[in-house]
Structure 1
Amino acid sequence: MNAAGERMLTRWLLAGVLLAGLGLLWLLAGGDRRVHWSPPGPLPPMLAQAASVPAAAVPALSRFSAIWQRPLLNPDRQPLQPRGEGRRLGDLELTGVIISPGLKLALLRPRPGSGPAGAASAAGGLRVALGARTPDGGWQLTRLEPRQAWFSRDGRQLRLALMPAAAASVATRPAMSSSPAGPDEALEQQRREALRQALQRLRAQPPAASAASGTHS
């Protein structure tokens, strides 16, 4: 760098130092007193009213209990039971009623084909006393008659009627047979049933009536 360039650089450095010094003196002398933040202006009337309105209270969860207690997508409107915590009452059928002065019971069992819970054991019956609840604690036996029982749960009622013996035998017969009965087997079963009914009528006939018929002959 030649002497002329050095002199030019020195002048620029001196000018920069002079400007920095002048700026520092201006700040120290209070040159920024007129620089300040303006306070926020008042809110519009509508925004002020909205800010003063209290937040809406969250409704209690119990108000929506009907959503899970009576689900719309279930045909029987009963909530699904977790696996291993019991059966729905719609999967059970009434098989017997015991009414005595000191004991009142409803005998239940799983319906045929009600699922793995019903097929797990053939003796998977339940005994529910009058006023007691099912093992899962859901349904309560509130009324008992010789051929039907009433259960209640959360204000709902369900009636189970005693299945007739003939219907019960027909319902359980397909599960016992491994193959459908053919025409010959069906005729043989009808003959056996007719013979059994005839024997029952003969046994139920009073002896006096049979003796009287013998004397007239």
Structure 2
Amino acid sequence: MSTVLITGATGFLGHTLCPYLVERGYRLRALVRPSSAWAFLRPLGVELAWGDIRDAEAVRTATKGCRAVVHAAGKFRFWGRREDFFAINLEGTRNALEAARRAGVERFIYISTIAVAGAPRTGTVIDEEYPTNPQDDYQRSKLEAERLTLRYHREQGLPTLVLRPGAFYGPGGRYAFNRLFFEDPLKGLPVQVHRGRHITFP
């Protein structure tokens, strides 16, 4: 069976995605930093490739022999240095794309974010054709990485797919949606979303 490389395997999405894929018979390799919380991957039988997404050589080594890449590694914060967002989210994606091209992978899946749409008007339905309007360096870096991914498809013939998920929530999550919809109600606190207005994601 061919191997699938997962970047960002130790993140919130990776904690759910890796067991899901293993249960369905996929053989996984994960690019992980020694300092990350990778221990849960061992019992799943995931092969560990040590390295950082910013290290092009480490990414190339991890990608060799893989049939597909799911690139979920990224820096997500509401604040931070511009250079950090772009070094990880854009240049890290460049490393992953180039490694995938060299390895001849059959599919490259990039996990972007619905946030590249910016702050649309209340009641606006956002689809694939909705104009992007990033508001901060996180969103800008993710949009630039999207564009780079699609350029590799057009110019290099790499089979790519860009996904723009909404907010993640669920077991093990430490983000605001978990607090708003699970932790606070369990404490008897009222649910307040965006000044009392509704926010919906597909």
- Relative to the length of structure 1, the TM-score reads 0.26
Query: Which one has the largest radius of gyration?
Result: 1
Higher RCO (CA 8 Å, separation ≥ 6 residues): 2
